[in-house]
Amino acid sequence: MTAAAPSDYEPHVARRRFEPRRTELARTLRLARDRLQLRAGHSPRFDGELLALHVQAQHTAAAVTPLPLFLTACGLSLFAGPTPALVWISIAVAGYAALLALLRRFESKSGVPIDSRRWTTMFQAGHFASGIAWAHLATLDCPACGFLRFEIFQFAVLFLAIALTAMISWPLRHVVILTFMPLVGALLAGFDDFREPATAAMRLMLLGAVPFFAFVAAKMRDNTLERMKHQAEKDELIAELDAARIVSDDARRRAEEANLAKSRFLATMSHELRTPLNAILGFSEVISNEILGPVGNASYREYVKDIHASGQHLLDLINEILDLSRVEAGRYDLNEEAVSLVAVAQDCIGYVRLKCETKDIRLKVQMEEAMPQLWADERSVRQIVLNLLSNAVKFTPAGGTVSVRVGWTAGGGQYVSIRDNGPGIPEDEIPVVLSNFGQGSSAIKAAEQGTGLGLPIVQALLHMHDGDFVLTSKLREGTEATAVFPHSRVLEVMPAFSEIG
């Protein structure tokens, strides 16, 4: 028989199942880190997203952009005549057509990596071209118009154009400055020709509006960048948590598969080991008792006793390992019934009494009378008490004392306490003693063999009964082990009801 994992378990197949998800997570983490690699500036990933926002905003505005251009041309034709209006609308449409062509070209690159710096420069050039129309409008004059009529029209249209550009095109860096740089040049070049204070004031307001709205657009862009960074941080955290969850699930899956392999191994090996062990124990007893005839050599008889003792120790070790593995795997079924803790303790004392007499160990027994029964698994309770008694007798020196007490707890539960005056356990070694296969320094020095599983089994069985295990010890003074069963396990004796006539 084999204790190998079942044939349907193929680790490489399980790993392949997780590879696509891990690859996706690695890509997500890499992108998130790329977005955050330049904390002080702008990473290419952020620039690409800002360009996409800019294109989206321009497309949204493209449906209504012809209306203000048409209205401006109509107003200009009323003041300066149809020819200047036609020239201006031609320049404006050409500039915005060039910008629209860039937008369409950018959209055609969807799904393809782009050079953010190059496209930013191209869009800035497109906005610069669209700004030539506004600069041309600022250079126009209407001598036949009344005082300030045309100037007010110019001021209103240009101020509105600056504000709309800032509100629509803010995702693009320096868009307001570059778009209205020709306007600023035209205003500065013709500033000396304006002798009217009102006209000069309006021109100064337009000059001041350009940096003001440029600042507003820059703040909107910076706020959007901050939100993108926070989103990138959140995406990175989510991706790392998801990666940790997958690693944890993978580790849990491997642990479950290892536990299944361990259970199969134990189930197989327990049968394979017990069969020859039973033969070893049986035949060694036959030889030791000289049932078929005298051995004839005293040394052989001693060897046979050693063989029997070693075989019994190995059988006990196998049984304890199986018990602990069943408890840890949740496959240890409790056959609960009414159990007397006092009776079980007395039976266990009978098992170790002969060994105590052999080592000249005195047993002190103190038990409460008329204690009600517990609702527990008798086999488990017996194993708890017997393990604690065996440990106490094992580590108590010749001429020592082992005290056994069974009584009530302050909360209404029941306990069994076993105390010895052996070498004791150092305080820092108590966690080691309570761990699987853990043995303290006194156990290692002891002549008797031990498996290191007695106390872990006691803890596990008490946990299944909702109980507690307390181990206290002082070096060179002794050890006290207490198994506590809760009040919920105690069967209360109900008084008899008298019949009511």
Least confident span in 311-315, 357-361, 461-465: 311-315
Question: Cα–chain-centroid distance for residue 263?
Answer: 28
Domain count, the chain: 2
Q: Are residues 207 and 343 in the same domain?
A: no
Distances (CA, A) of 280 to 211, 217, 302, 314, 317: 100, 92, 15, 11, 16
Q: Are residues 369 and 479 in the same domain?
A: yes
Cα distance between residue 143 and residue 450, in whole Å: 116
Range of the domain at 386: 336-489
> Smallest Cα–Cα separation from 488: which of 322, 353, 399, 374?
374
Q: 187, 215, 242 — which closes off a domain?
A: 242
Which three-class secondary structure string do you get for 261-318?
Answer: HHHHHHHHHHHHHHHHHHHHHHHHHHHHCCCCCCCCCHHHHHHHHHHHHHHHHHHHHH
Q: Are residues 231 and 347 in the same domain?
A: no
Q: Are residues 211 and 355 in the same domain?
A: no
Sign of dihedral through CA atoms 50, 52, 53, 58?
A: positive
Q: Is residue 329 part of a domain?
A: no
Q: Is residue 157 part of a domain?
A: yes
Cα distance between residue 422 and residue 475, in whole Å: 9
CATH code, domain with 361: 3.30.565.10
pLDDT tens per residue, range 137-184 = 888 887 777 667 788 888 899 999 999 988 888 888 888 999 989 989
Q: pLDDT band at residue 13, thresholds of 50, 70 and 90? A: very low
Q: Which carries the bigger pLDDT value, residue 397 or residue 295?
A: 397
* pLDDT over 80 at 361, yes or no: yes
List, in order, residues 6 or more apart from 27 with CB less than 8 Å away.
none
Q: Is residue 359 part of a domain?
A: yes
> Smallest Cα–Cα separation from 58: which of 7, 123, 4?
123
Least confident span in 175-189, 258-272, 283-297, 487-501: 487-501
> Smallest Cα–Cα separation from 381: which of 484, 478, 294?
484
DSSP one-letter string for 180-191: THHHHHHHHHTG
List, in order, residues 6 or more apart from 281 with CB less than 8 Å away.
308, 311, 312, 315
List, in order, residues 6 or more apart from 401 with CB less than 8 Å away.
361, 362, 363, 364, 420, 421
Cα distance between residue 41 and residue 37, in whole Å: 9
pLDDT of residue 330: 64
Nearest 5°: CA angle at 174, between 55 and 168?
40
Q: Is residue 441 part of a domain?
A: yes
Q: pLDDT band at residue 211, thresholds of 50, 70 and 90? A: very high
* pLDDT over 90 at 279, yes or no: no
* pLDDT over 70 at 38, yes or no: no
Nearest 5°: CA angle at 200, between 196 and 204?
170
To the nearest 10°, the Cα dihedral for 8, 9, 10, 15?
A: 130
Q: Which carries the bigger pLDDT value, residue 252 or residue 116?
A: 252
Q: Are residues 375 and 233 in the same domain?
A: no
Q: Give phi and psi for 435, each to the nearest 5.
A: -90, 165
Q: Is residue 35 part of a domain?
A: yes
Q: Are residues 226 and 358 in the same domain?
A: no
Q: Are residues 231 and 351 in the same domain?
A: no
Q: Are residues 228 and 347 in the same domain?
A: no
* pTM, two decimal places: 0.47
* pLDDT over 60 at 377, yes or no: yes
pLDDT of residue 234: 85
pLDDT of residue 495: 55
Amino acid at 431: P
pLDDT of residue 3: 37
Distances (CA, A) of 424 to 344, 349, 415: 26, 21, 21
Cα distance between residue 165 and residue 180, in whole Å: 9
Sign of dihedral through CA atoms 267, 269, 272, 278?
A: negative
% residues pLDDT > 90 (the chain): 16
> Smallest Cα–Cα separation from 394: which of 350, 448, 340?
448
- The answer to whether 7 and 224 have CB atoms below 8 angstroms apart is no
pLDDT of residue 383: 87
Cα distance between residue 201 and residue 395, in whole Å: 105
Cα distance between residue 243 and residue 338, in whole Å: 51
Q: 242, 259, 282 — which closes off a domain?
A: 242
Q: Is residue 303 part of a domain?
A: no
Q: 201, 219, 242 — which closes off a domain?
A: 242
Q: pLDDT band at residue 493, thresholds of 50, 70 and 90? A: low
Mean pLDDT of the chain: 80
Q: Are residues 340 and 484 in the same domain?
A: yes
pLDDT tens per residue, range 413-448 = 999 999 998 888 888 888 888 877 667 665 545 545
* pLDDT over 60 at 2, yes or no: no
pLDDT of residue 152: 87
Q: Is residue 498 part of a domain?
A: no
List, in order, residues 6 or more apart from 313 with CB less than 8 Å away.
449
User: Any bridge partners for residue 414, and if so which?
Assistant: 408, 485
Q: How many residues does the chain have?
A: 501
To the nearest 10°, the Cα dihedral for 240, 242, 248, 251?
A: -100
Hey, how many other C-beta atoms are within 10 angstroms of the C-beta on 226?
Answer: 10
Sign of dihedral through CA atoms 238, 243, 247, 249?
A: positive
Q: Is residue 4 part of a domain?
A: no
> Smallest Cα–Cα separation from 178: which of 295, 357, 54, 4?
54
